[in-house]
Amino acid sequence: MPLKNKIEELKKRKEEVLQGGGEQAVAKQVAMGKLTARERIIALLDEDSFNEYDMFVEHDARDFGMDGKVLHGDGVIIGTGTIYGAPVAVFAQDFTVAGGSLGSMHARKITKIMDYALRMRIPLIGINDSGGARIQEGVNSLAGYGEIFWRNTLSSGIIPQISVILGPCAGGAVYSPALTDFVFVVDKISKMFITGPEVIKSVLGEEISQEDLGGARVHAQITGNAHFYSESEYECFEQIKKLITYIPWNNTRKARKFEPKEPKVNYNIEDIVPGDPKEPYDVRDVIRAIADDSDFFEIQEKWAANIVIGFGRLNGETVGFVANQPLVMAGVLDVDSSDKAARFVRYCDAFNIPLVTLVDLPGYLPGIDQEHAGVIRHGAKLLYAYSEATVPKMTVILRKAYGGGYIAMSSRHLRADFVFAWPSAEIAVMGPEGAANIIFRKEISEAPDPEAMRRQKVEEYKEKFANPYVAAAKGYIDTVIEPSETRKLLLHALEVSSTKVADRPWRKHGIPPF
């Protein structure tokens, strides 16, 4: 046969695989408001950059009449491509082929591209849209999940791993995304749960819809499983592309440096934080007043909103911002906000991203439910993460820094490299009200007018301790600065710490409180 004919045959074979699960299945996918796996890859990657592998892989199941069935690509597409020129490895489950169910060859394709991503030290993006295990393949499909989880763990902290939930992701399947760095969900399309509504109904008698149990909003607002939420798949892909610009290809590199840009003039840093410490404000405006081009890429925006995390740039270099949010629950640390910030700090540390921490918090949230929910254990995660991190750490105390919250928020004592405080900072063991009540209990109770004495003592305490100068006198903060000097000093700190050395004693790994 002449080569020309063989090329024709190749084209024919490819054409067939490109049909996915066939016209009817594709129509169903479209009716559900979803793009097909191929459309997703094309939308996500740079134009014409995708190279597919294992297109002709076929399943090898024999039982239950599977031996006669053709499942194109075994329900998953794998390959490599680029995003804004940065190489990435991708897999996308194809729901039109046997519901994207995971059999052994399907899993082998996923693990192949995972191995490739790790070997080449490039980010991995997994698009999940699958009915779950392929029951006909029995324990082989469980083995497949296990192989994927093992690789997720092996790659953790070495290459960025991104999970995109664009359809159902239920049962064991949810644990691969949970092991990755960033999870993206889309309204009305993403569904994640360990046991679905039917099982919950039959076992517990509780009725709930898929959406209310594990829809996009649930994971973006309540569980914290999702990091990015969007209204459409295209918006989701834009978020992923933007994220890729902030992070390095792997843990031996720095993120790509951009052209430095001054913050926009409409963020006047001196006008953001109110003089009255009881007045809330949006701390993201402070970040925007500091960051290049006033650009802040927030992560987990809707969950545990009392702490704000995300990426921005200083002098073109990616930094991770962690900031208490006085606008939500007074910016307290609690179970969820500690967990959220701790994981982000560890992410930045693993991928050579310097940390900028903005402090304004009344402390840890008191309460029976917090104590019983394990605020000790979860709060400790944040102490651990900051103490462990060796990337440059810059802290700016904007206003309140009381008690355990002061220590936890990247204090000098946890080895922050630079600690700056604004003149509005109040750094003390506890708030004036509480402290005065304890220290002057006797004077207050024995005074002819205890309430007047109490107020007097609170004022005295406020005057003497609710300021940055007591901590500055001990060298716990490096300098008290004017708000307008913040960006200049952070840029300088970043420059000075670019050659930072922070040795730690050898260990296999630590035992963080999770």
Partner 1 sequence: MAYSKLDDKNVTAFIPGTIVDVKVKPGQEVKQGEVLVILDAMKMHNRVIAPSAGKVKEVNVKPGDRVSKGYLLVSIE
The angle subtended at Cα 306 by Cα 387 and Cα 246, nearest 5°, is 65
- Smallest gap, in angstroms, from Cβ of residue 457 to partner 1? 17
- Smallest gap, in angstroms, from Cβ of residue 296 to partner 1? 19
**Nearest alpha-carbon partner for 480 in 464, 463, 468, 496:** 468
Residue among 19 and 209 whose Cβ is closer to partner 1: 209
- Smallest gap, in angstroms, from Cβ of residue 280 to partner 1? 6
- Smallest gap, in angstroms, from Cβ of residue 363 to partner 1? 8
Residue 162: is it exposed, middle or buried by C-beta count within 10 angstroms (0-12/13-18/19+)? Answer: buried
**Nearest alpha-carbon partner for 24 in 101, 131, 76, 96:** 96
What is the DSSP-derived secondary structure letter of residue 473? H
Residue among 339 and 417 whose Cβ is closer to partner 1: 339
- Smallest gap, in angstroms, from Cβ of residue 402 to partner 1? 8
Contact 111, 89 (CB under 8 A): no
Q: How far apart are CA 380 and CA 339, in angstroms?
A: 9
Residue among 179 and 328 whose Cβ is closer to partner 1: 328
Residues making contact with partner 1 (CB under 8 A): 208, 212, 218, 221-222, 277-280, 326-327, 329-332, 362-363, 365-367, 400, 402, 431, 433
- Smallest gap, in angstroms, from Cβ of residue 368 to partner 1? 9
Residue among 116 and 281 whose Cβ is closer to partner 1: 281
- Smallest gap, in angstroms, from Cβ of residue 311 to partner 1? 25
Residue among 82 and 221 whose Cβ is closer to partner 1: 221
- Smallest gap, in angstroms, from Cβ of residue 133 to partner 1? 28
Residue among 83 and 428 whose Cβ is closer to partner 1: 428
C-alpha count within 13 angstroms, C-beta hemisphere, residue 121: 9
Buried b (16+ CB within 10 A) or exposed e, 64-99: eebeeeebbbbbbbbbbbbbeebebbbbbbbbbbbb
- Smallest gap, in angstroms, from Cβ of residue 180 to partner 1? 24
Query: E-strand spans in 293-367?
Result: 297-299, 307-314, 317-324, 355-361
Element (H, E) at 242: helix 233-246
Give the number of other CB atoms < 10 A from CB of residue 158: 15
Q: How far is CA 413 from CA 255, 340, 404, in A?
A: 28, 21, 12
- Smallest gap, in angstroms, from Cβ of residue 408 to partner 1? 16
User: Is the sign of the CA dihedral 183, 44, 186, 201 positive or negative?
Assistant: negative
Q: How far is CA 277 from CA 280, 299, 333, 349, 425, in A?
A: 8, 27, 17, 32, 9
Residue 287: is it exposed, middle or buried by C-beta count within 10 angstroms (0-12/13-18/19+)? Answer: buried
Sequence-distant (≥ 6) Cβ neighbours of residue 371 within 8 angstroms: none
- Smallest gap, in angstroms, from Cβ of residue 161 to partner 1? 28
Q: How far is CA 495 from CA 11, 82, 122, 247, in A?
A: 54, 30, 27, 19
Q: How far apart are CA 153 and CA 33, in angstroms?
A: 33
Q: How far apart are CA 127 and CA 39, in angstroms?
A: 12
Q: How far apart are CA 335 and CA 305, in angstroms?
A: 12
Residue among 204 and 496 whose Cβ is closer to partner 1: 204
Residue among 2 and 275 whose Cβ is closer to partner 1: 275
Residue among 346 and 400 whose Cβ is closer to partner 1: 400
Residue among 1 and 368 whose Cβ is closer to partner 1: 368
Residue among 217 and 242 whose Cβ is closer to partner 1: 217
Residue among 244 and 329 whose Cβ is closer to partner 1: 329
- Smallest gap, in angstroms, from Cβ of residue 365 to partner 1? 7
**Token match 């897999």: residue?**
91
